[in-house]
Amino acid sequence: MRVERLREEFDVEFDAWAFDLRPGLPPEGLPRDEVYREGLYPPGYVDRLREMARESGIQMIAPPVVANTQKAHQATEFAKEGGRLPQFHRAVFAAYWEKGENIGDEDVLCRLAGECGLDPDGLRAALAGGRYAQRVREQMAWARDAGLGGVPTFVFSSGDGRTFALVGAQDYEVFADIARRIQRGELKAT
């Protein structure tokens, strides 16, 4: 993935924040054809995304269920706390976009946690107790207040505390260019 490559080539840190692209989805999600009945994307958009995924070694599929991601975001917070965020983030991405699994399903998330070296029973208890629910709500509120409206959104922070957002799937060179310009102090983020 582009973020993994960016971390290898530049002195950057990665953090994942919650964003609810489809508020109001039921906990079990909805069939993809029901959600996208009217087609939301311009012609060629999805094909371009699949091509970008292929270039990164990912065979992207359209999962049959559009997942409610509330539990996945809470599980991500659990992975952060457990020191396994990059591994868990990649595993959730692969489960959804490469295998078509429902990442809103607690059993799927607990299995992935275990595969990443996290305690699946600990995750199940955290989800049942809502341990990370407030943190996820705060992150989503921040995203709304910041005017974010799409995923993925990448927020770069410069050493002086300024931020710069890049919205949408982009070629790797766009990420690298931004990282270089921030490091050289050429990009004045706001």
187 within domain boundaries: no
What is the pLDDT, as a whole number, of residue 1?
64
Task: Give the chain's domain count.
Answer: 1
Is residue 70 a part of any domain in this protein?
A: yes
pLDDT at 146: 83
Distance between CA atoms of 14 and 155, rounded to whole angstroms?
10
pTM beyond 0.75, yes or no? yes
The Cβ-side half-sphere exposure at 167, using a 13 Å CA radius, reads: 8
Structural domain including 32 reads 2-145
Measured between alpha carbons, how far is 57 from 147 in angstroms, rounded to an integer?
Answer: 31
In whole angstroms, give the CA distance from residue 169 to residue 16.
15
Judge whether 134 lies within some domain. Answer: yes
Please report whether residue 186 resides in a domain.
Answer: no
Identify the pLDDT of residue 158: 67
Residues 121-135 as b/e (b if ≥16 CB within 10 A, e otherwise) read: eebbebbeeebbbeb
The two structure tokens encoding residue 83: 């020191």
pLDDT of residue 16: 81
Is residue 59 domain-resident? yes
pLDDT (0 to 100) of residue 39: 63
Asked whether residue 182 is domain-assigned, the answer is no
Three-state DSSP string of 149-188: CCCCEEEEECCCCCEEEEECCCCHHHHHHHHHHHHCCCCC
Flag whether 118 is in a domain. Answer: yes
pLDDT at res. 144: 86
User: What confidence score (pLDDT) does residue 188 get?
Assistant: 59
Please report whether residue 163 resides in a domain. Answer: no
Give the pLDDT of residue 150. 74
> What is the mean pLDDT, run by run of 10 residues, along the chain of 190 residues?
78 79 88 77 75 80 90 97 94 93 97 98 98 95 84 73 74 84 70
Provide the pLDDT for residue 172. 82
At 133, which CATH number? 3.40.30.10
| pLDDT recorded at residue 59 | 83
